[in-house]
Amino acid sequence: AQKITQTQPGMFVQEKEAVTLDCTYDTSDPSYGLFWYKQPSSGEMIFLIYQGSYDQQNATEGRYSLNFQKARKSANLVISASQLGDSAMYFCAMREGMNNRLAFGKGNQVVVIP
Amino acid sequence: GAGVSQSPRYKVTKRGQDVALRCDPISGHVSLYWYRQALGQGPEFLTYFNYEAQQDKSGLPNDRFSAERPEGSISTLTIQRTEQRDSAMYRCASSLRPGLAGGPYEQYFGPGTRLTVT
Most B CBs within 10 Å, among A39, A61, A102, to test the B interface: A102
pLDDT at A1 over 80: no
pLDDT at A9 over 70: yes
Confidence of residue B101 (pLDDT cuts 50, 70, 90): low
Write down the pLDDT at residue B105.
85
Q: What is the largest CA-CA distance in chain A?
A: 44
Q: In the predicted model, what is the mean pLDDT of chain A?
A: 94
* Cβ within 8 Å of residue B85, ≥6 positions away: B117
Write down the pLDDT at residue A22.
96
The residue in chain B having the minimum alpha-carbon distance to the alpha carbon of residue A49 is: B106
CB atoms B91 and A45 under 8 Å:
yes
Cβ atoms of residues A110 and A13 within 8 Å: yes
Amino acid identity at A94? M
Write down the pLDDT at residue B87.
97
Q: How far apart are the first and last CA of chain A?
A: 39
Distance CA B59, CA B69 (A): 17
Write down the pLDDT at residue B104.
77
Q: Would you call A84 an interface residue with chain B, using a CB distance cutoff of 8 Å?
A: no
Tens digits of residue pLDDT in B70-95: 999 999 999 999 999 999 999 999 99
Confidence of residue A97 (pLDDT cuts 50, 70, 90): confident
**Cross-strand pairs, A36:** A49, A92
Write down the pLDDT at residue B102.
62
Tens digits of residue pLDDT in A25-55: 999 999 999 999 999 999 999 999 999 999 9
CB atoms inside a 10 Å sphere around CB B39? 7
